[in-house]
Copies of this chain bind each other. A is one copy, B any other.
């Protein structure tokens, strides 16, 4: 499994923040409830996202978390690499994007290609798009229900 709950939950949290942008800080407890993430676990993920500059947090009553940048400027790739570390599908293609030594193992080129394609796709998706997608889906569900 390339993506664990760290990455999944973390992205869920950012989607939640993006959805409530401009409404002031959003509290951990609200994110946890809406996105079905254990609150005390979410805590660690928010800490990581703060360390890497994705969110700003304020304490005290009325405090909470907000995006540090516009949702359109936050790439899914960067979020996931912050939370999960390298997204390499196999150890040997981790960082070394240079094709210096094809080396020993005859299947490495296949994974290089897959990795690059994956990173490209993840680069092309922003928080803004994820939120839009979600809204579209909600609207569809509402229509289906009303019928």
Which A residues are within 8 Å of any B CB, using their own CB? Answer: 1-3, 7-8, 11-12, 15, 36, 76, 88-91, 102, 104-107, 109-111, 113-114, 117-118, 121-122, 125, 130-131, 133-134, 137
Q: Which of B90, B107, B130 contacts A2 (CB 8 A)?
A: B90
Interface centre among A8, A11, A36 (most CB of B within 10 A): A8
Chain B residues, Cβ within 8 Å of A117:
114, 117-118, 121
Can you list 10 residue pairs at the A/B interface with Cβ under 8 Å? A2-B2, A3-B89, A3-B111, A8-B90, A15-B107, A89-B89, A110-B121, A110-B125, A114-B117, A114-B118
Chain B residues, Cβ within 8 Å of A122:
110, 114
Chain B residues, Cβ within 8 Å of A111:
3
Q: How far is the CA of A52 from the CA of B106 in the complex (A)?
A: 22
Query: Which residue of chain B has the shortest Cβ distance to A119 in the bound complex?
Result: B114
A36 engages B2 (CB within 8 Å): no
Query: Which residue of chain B has the shortest Cβ distance to A36 in the bound complex?
Result: B104
Chain B residues, Cβ within 8 Å of A109:
133
Q: Which of B2, B7, B102, B107 contacts A8 (CB 8 A)?
A: B107
Chain B residues, Cβ within 8 Å of A15:
106-107
Chain B residues, Cβ within 8 Å of A90:
1-3, 7-8
CB distance from A146 to the nearest CB of B (A): 18
